[in-house]
Amino acid sequence: MHVVTHLLMGWTLAEHTTKSPRDRALITFASVAPDLDGLGLIVDAAAPLFDWTMQWYDRFHHLLLHGLPGALLCTALFACFARQRPYTAGLVFVSYHLHLLGDLLGSRGGGETAIWPIHYLAPLSDGLTFAWGGQWPLTSWQNTTLTVVLMVYALVLAVRRGYSPVGLFSARADAVFVETLRQRWRSLRTG
């Protein structure tokens, strides 16, 4: 799934499980943390400049952090910063696994056989691997629909509650964003 979809899934979980902005951010960021192993794409893009022949993205994405060891590491690290440590740690673990479920459902490449499995015990072991033959392509209507539904839901909650996922990155930008949404909503209702 697209990283924006993962982020919105995590934010939706956090939105309905905690009132603490800090814990909400930790739970949300846990839903995108597994994709840190995809940063090898940057190394791969720079490789020709240095005459390297590595393929870090293909070798390590969905391998280093897309499993239980990554989930435990992320949970332990994020729990250190949480207000409600045990509660938030549990939700971080769940949010991390929402990412894995999302990838299991909808991260196939362009071809029918381009399935991306979840190597659940990697990088420690390759003993437990999950794959689904019906995995949606990354650009599928299912992924697009889920992303649009989550975006609309986030916008509705922003109007109602006064904050949005934008607040994860900037409180000031979120305040402007929410006020703009509310003004547009008022003009639609009165207009």
Instruction: Give yes or no for a cis peptide into 123 (omega within 30° of 0).
Output: yes
- The reported pLDDT for the residue numbered 45 is 84
pLDDT of 191:
66
How far, in whole angstroms, is CA 97 from its chain's centroid?
A: 10
Collect the ranges in the chain with pLDDT lower than 50. Answer: none
Give the pLDDT of residue 38.
Answer: 83
